[in-house]
Amino acid sequence: MIKDLDQTKCMELLRNNYIGRLAFVQGKSPYIIPITYYYHDRDARSIISYSAEGHKIRAMRKNTSVSLEVDEIESVSKWKSVLVHGQFEELEGIDAKSQLHEFVKGVKSIINKKEEKQLQFIHEFSSKLISIGPPPVVYRIKIVEITGKVREE
């Protein structure tokens, strides 16, 4: 039976995961790509992530409406899924540095707990910050709406 997830359960699923699928539009075409994210409870219900400058960032600067889907799938008849609709906001300066620090701490904590790995450095789960070149673009997805579904055996 498929049921709606209440807001508390939706937030819990976001909080306990760090990989989701980001949807954005470039021109007339939709794109969906996997990203690493951190759900930031304290920051007015927002999702933090970062990326190298490229197609995704250029597209979100032009059309700030985005979605993020996060799920936990055990089987075809046992799963949970959350869909976030939000607004892309590029962060700069001290705000970007601060949020990137929260992102790193948060993702490391989730990986340490879920996967029982003791990560020390960001390069253990992301290569974007150790490459030579321009600094990454740190961004926030300000949550506008969250919905969720659950299917239980």
Tens of pLDDT along 97-113?
999 989 988 888 888 88
Interatomic CA distance for residues 92 and 1, integer angstroms: 45
User: Quick one: average pLDDT of 48-77?
Assistant: 96
Integer Cα distance of 25 and 2 in angstroms: 29
Q: Does domain 2-151 have CATH number 2.30.110.10?
A: yes
Which residues are bridge partners to 88 per DSSP? Answer: 141
User: Is residue 49 predicted with pLDDT exceeding 50?
Assistant: yes
Whole-number pLDDT of residue 143? 95
Convert the pLDDT of each residue in 120-136 to its tens digit: 555 444 555 555 567 89
| Residue-level pLDDT at 108 | 86
Give the pTM.
0.87
Q: Is it the case that residue 153 has pLDDT exceeding 50?
A: yes
Q: Where are the alpha helices (DSSP H) in the chain?
A: 7-15, 55-62, 93-114
Instruction: Work out the mean pLDDT of the chain and round it to a whole number.
Output: 89
The residue ranges of every structural domain in the chain are 2-151
pLDDT in tens, 78-88: 999 999 999 99
